[in-house]
Structure 1
Amino acid sequence: MNIRFTDNPPLDPVQEGRDIQARTAAILAADAIPLFEPSVTVSYRSAGRTLVVGSGAHALPWADRLAAALPVTVLLLDSQDTLPVRPYPVHAARTVAVAGWLGAFEARWQAPGQPVGQGKFDLVLDLGASRLIPSHQRPHGYYAPGDGDAARLDAVEAMLDMVGDFEKPKYFAYKERTCAHGRNGQKGCSACIDICSAHAIADDGDRIKVNPYLCAGCGACSTVCPTGAISYAFPPAALTGKRIQAALRSYREAGGHDPVLLLHDAEHGAALLAQLGESIPGRVIPLALQHTASAGIDVWFAAIAYGAAGIVVLNTGHEAPQYIAALDQQMAIAQAVLDGLGYDGPHLQLLRMETPAAPDELAVALRHAPRGQTPLEAAVFHLANDKRNTLDYALDHLHRHAPRKPEVVALPPGAPFGAIEVDRKACTLCMSCVGACPAGALQDGQGAPLLRFIEKNCVQCGLCATTCPENAIALAPRLSFMETRNQAVVLNETQPFHCIRCDKPFGTLQMVENMLGRLGMHPAFAGHLDRLRMCGDCRVIDMMEPQGEMRVTALRRS
């Protein structure tokens, strides 16, 4: 259990009674928000073709049971002098590889001295010592119940019902244009790939590729995405925001004080809270999410702007380890912002209860839930489905009502806000960084040799620094509240260099000097260094002119 206790005042029975009544009103208000119906779904089709993998002692009895209703194939992982005779195919296998999802599994196997076998299956029952598909979140149709007979029986009974057509929501939406994964072959952000516990997200050049059949709908990718290029579509952030706003407004109007949002999943977290019953403190408002990793700093900041004194995220030990690390990092960033603005805290808590957990331990933890300072006036904006828009609304409200109003708040590395520092001596204004920026934070001079920067748009993906051929760019994580954050400020500028032949501007003095230093000894320019001082058109003309004839060419010396 990971608990950071906060100092709370002694319990006031009268206020506790009001808080309990206010919580009831808050829950009713949140539940009154209409459910969201997915507009896009993902379909599966299963004919029940089942692959059972394991030792003979384990696999065959369960295969016999499945074979009464489903077409079965068995792969035996232990040595067999003679393969058992069954009314279904049985193969010996030393190595097995399986990939896919419900209705679309592909398997390959091989035994010593035997050709490679392969097949396509709709369902897989994995009874081996180690799982064939190691992802934390298992694909639909893949069952690896472990050693217990009860768990294996549950898996087999579930498989018997997995025949027919099925569908699920498409949980994500992806906007390639704003994705910070890569540009021009340079790699930037890979946060969504790193955190996906279903291995549903993969590198696809300058973009990512999401397999909707493997996606389990945890929403962690949208939480760590700095640009909002990948967003949670079921339910969308706007709906979650409406539920939170309605709950906190009703709680406040009913006389409740210092509300805490307890974010939990609808299965394991809900079951754990059910054990507490009336032991949950009155100011704690449980709110079920599809997954606790689906809400990040945009939702948290909005909730605090609405009046939440604390956000507690309840994890029960069923979450992938990378989810815990990501939420911890997000909370550190969010708390750094709130501390910088002068709000007394803490406001955020990651509560880790390993299953099985004693209810009294959870009750103690919730009595010490955060009781942070909130804005004197509750915000009225609504969450947008665009993450960066929500952050703009929430941060603007928090800063406007903050006890302190700093121009800049320093943030830890990895924060999705910041500036960049440009070494003017090294920068040649080649504008490679402008073409690499996915958020429009870096802009050229529209014909003039200058580099402009809009800090509000920067997501600190690092593509500009990675792309810069002169290593002239460094990231500076911070959150700016200066008026200039919305304006295009000049980071570097110089005078244009004019072609010595036609006088057309085609670069900068520093760029031409760098070319002379790097290409001066190249055979193509040996004896013709003036060509490096010409624009592309004049350089071609100069190269095509007869070399043996006397000619007079007017050159403009810079």
Structure 2
Amino acid sequence: MNIRFTDAVPLDPLREGQDAQARAAAILAADAIPVFEPGVTVSYRSGGRTLVVGSAENALPWADRLAAALPVTVLLLDNQETMPVRPYPVHISRTVAVAGWLGAFEARWQAPGQPLQQGRFDLVLDLAPSRLIPSHQRPHGYYAPGYDDTAREQAADELQDMVGDFEKPKYFAYKERTCAHGRNGQKGCTACIDICSAQAIHGDGDKIKVNPYLCAGCGACSTVCPTGAISYAFPPAALTGKRMQAALRSYREAGGAQPVFLLHDPDHGAALLARLGEAIPGRVIPLALQHTASTGIDVWFAAVAYGAAGIAVLMTGQEAPQYLAALDQQMEIAQAVLDGLGYTGPHFQLLRVEAPEELALALRHAPRGLVPAQPAVFHLAGDKRNTLDYALEHLHRHAPARPEQVALPPGAPFGAIEVNRSACSLCMSCVGACPAGALQDGQGAPLLRFIEKNCVQCGLCATTCPENAITLTPRLSFMESRSQPVVLNESQPFHCIRCDKPFGTLQMVENMLGRLGAHPAFSGHLDRLRMCGDCRVIDMMEPQGEMRVTTLRRG
């Protein structure tokens, strides 16, 4: 079990009965919120062409069965003295590679001494000793049931139904303008790539690229994205927010106290809760999600602002391990904020249980965190950062403690930066790298400005800085200045010694003299480094042997 325990409060039968009645009202209210229809869908087309891979003992019997309904091709991975005679193609291979999705699988294989062969298939039955597609979330149309006969039976039945046209929601939306993956060839945030269990996301230069056919809709990418560049489009966060608001409103009106949302998936989690039955504490409100990895600090902060005493997330062992690590980090950040604001907790509970008795024990210790005296009325926004602004503003306004700032653990999507003024040359590389508009130039003046509210701590500014002059400081500021440009560094402009046009700063010119003074293009012509680009070219093109009169202005 991976459980955050709090002190269990002895059950009061009267209180428990009232909370249970309030929970029933809350569930009815949440279920009454209409589900949004997907705005965009992803389509698949399968003709049933099936590739079966495995040893002759494992693959041929299942291929024989499938061949009655599907066009089958078999790749055998073991030695065969004689090629098996079948009414479908059979190949022997020592190396096999498969990639793709329903209706678009590509396979490559090679037998000893034979040229590489390849083929396209709609479906794959993988009976190899180790899976050919190792991603935790398997592509649609790919079945790897292992050695269990019941699982193989189920896979064979499902394969025969996977012929025709299919569609699913496009689960994500992507705004590359605010993506912090990279800038100017410098790598920044890789959170969505690292967490994707379907291997559907990869870097594409300074941006990311999501394969909608591989995306399984877990929403974990949106949970860890610091800027909100990738968001959960179906079901959207706004729907979850409305369900939470409706549930809590009905729960309060029915006299319930200290409500806790238990977020679970609609399959394994729901089945585990059904087995638990009436043992679920009355104040625990189950709320099914498309996937438990699809919500993070924005939704959780909103729930606390609405009046939820806690959030418990139920993981049943079916999830990718990186999801647990990400949710645990999100809970650490969220709890640090609430602790800093004086809301006694804990407010969050990450559960990994597979048996009803484990879940019953965990829910007896469900969070009883302090909440604002007045429930918030804002709705979750489509933009993650806007939701965070609404929730944090409400939580701070009603907080027992109102600090100017709260220190946060590394990895938090809030913070400031510190600039070493003696090293910073005001080259403004960091401004061009910042995806969130947190760093700004001086509009012609040699100064660097910073808006802390916009900073997502992606680190691109520090990575890009040629002087290594930038340090990240994770924190959450509640000062009024957080929304206003603050000058981090400034300098007097340096004027070209030939035309008197400002073109840089004294620090920048001194750095150039130190670094380029020995370069063949400038040795003996150091004054060129004190000139603007235009004058430098003119000086280099003028005949060197002729007498000329040039008025130089010494900086």
Partner AA of 2:529 in structure 1: L
1:527 equivalent in structure 2: 524
Partner Cα separation in structure 1 for residue 329 and residue 404 of structure 2: 23
Q: Is the 8 A contact 1:98 1:133 kept in 2?
A: yes
Deviation at 1:543, TM superposition (A): 1.6
- Between Structure 1 and Structure 2, how many residues are aligned? 555
1:416 to 407, 413, 417: 413
Following superposition, the deviation at residue 13 of structure 1 comes to: 1.1
> 2: distance between equivalents of 1:79 and 1:539?
73
Give 5+ residue unaligned stretches, structure 1: none
1:280 paired with 2:277, answer no
Aligned to 1:300: 300
Q: Is the 8 A contact 1:499 1:533 kept in 2?
A: yes
Question: Residue 230 of structure 1 corresponds to which residue in structure 2?
Answer: 230
User: Could you tell me how far apart the structure 2 residues matched to 1:533 and 1:221 are?
Assistant: 48
1:110-509 mapped onto 2 (5 Å cutoff): 110-354=110-354, 357=355, 359-509=356-506
- Structure 2, unpaired ranges of 5+: none
Tell me the TM-score normalised to structure 1 length.
0.99
**Comparing 30-39 with 544-553, which one deviates more in the overlay?**
544-553
Identity %: 85
- The one-letter amino acid of 2:112's match is P
Mapped to 1, the partners of 2:547 and 2:393 lie a distance apart of: 70
**Aligned equivalents of 1:368, 1:510: Cα separation in 2:** 59
How far off its partner does 1:363 sit? 1.2
Rounded to whole Å, the distance in 2 between the matches of 1:61 and 1:11 is 57
Q: Secondary structure at the match of 1:269?
A: helix
1:427 and 1:472 in contact (8 A); partners too? yes
8 Å contact from structure 1 (residues 8, 371) kept in 2: no
Deviation of the 1:519 alpha carbon: 0.9
**RMSD of aligned residue pairs (Cα, Å):** 0.7
Counterpart amino acid of residue 376 in structure 2: A
Deviation string, structure 1 residues 437-480 (Cα, Å, up to 9, x no partner): 00000000000000000000000000000000000001000000
Matched residue SS, 1:257 = coil
Aligned-pair distance for 1:367?
1.4
Q: Secondary structure at the match of 2:473?
A: strand
- 1:407-446 deviations in whole A, cap 9, x for unaligned? 1100000000000010000000000000000000000000
**What is the CA-CA distance between 1:16 and the residue it aligns to?**
1.0
Find the counterpart in structure 2 of residue 107 from structure 1: 107
**Counterpart AA for 1:440:** G
Counterpart-to-counterpart distance in 2, 1:360 and 1:167 = 38
Code of the aligned partner of 1:292: T
* Deviation per residue, 1:477-499 (Å, 9 max, x gap): 00001111001000000100001
Partner of 1:19: 19
Is the deviation greater in 217-226 or in 545-554? 545-554
Structure 1 residue 167: Cα displacement: 0.3
Letter in 2 for 1:302: A
Runs of 4+ in 1 over 3 A off after TM superposition: none
Q: What secondary structure sits across from 1:538 in the alignment?
A: helix
Aligned partners of 1:7, 1:330: CA distance in 2, in Å? 22
User: What letter corresponds to residue 303 of structure 2 in structure 1?
Assistant: A
Answer yes or no: is 1:544 the counterpart of 2:541.
yes
1:405 aligns to what SS in structure 2?
A: coil
Deviations 1:172-193 (A, max 9, x none): 0000000000000000000000
Letter of the aligned partner of 2:47 in structure 1? A
* 1:497–1:506 contact (8 Å) kept in structure 2: yes
Alpha-carbon distance between aligned partners in 1 of 2:7 and 2:110, rounded to the nearest angstrom: 62
- Where does residue 75 of structure 2 map in the other structure? 75
Shift of 1:195: 0.2
Equivalent position amino acid for 1:249 in 2: R
Give the SS at the match of 1:287.
strand
| Equivalent AA in structure 1 for residue 125 of structure 2 | L
Query: What SS is found at the alignment partner of 2:264?
Result: strand
Matches of 1:310 and 1:273 in 2, distance apart? 18
Instruction: Tell me, in whole angstroms, the C-alpha distance in 2 between the residues paired with 1:381 and 1:213.
Output: 35
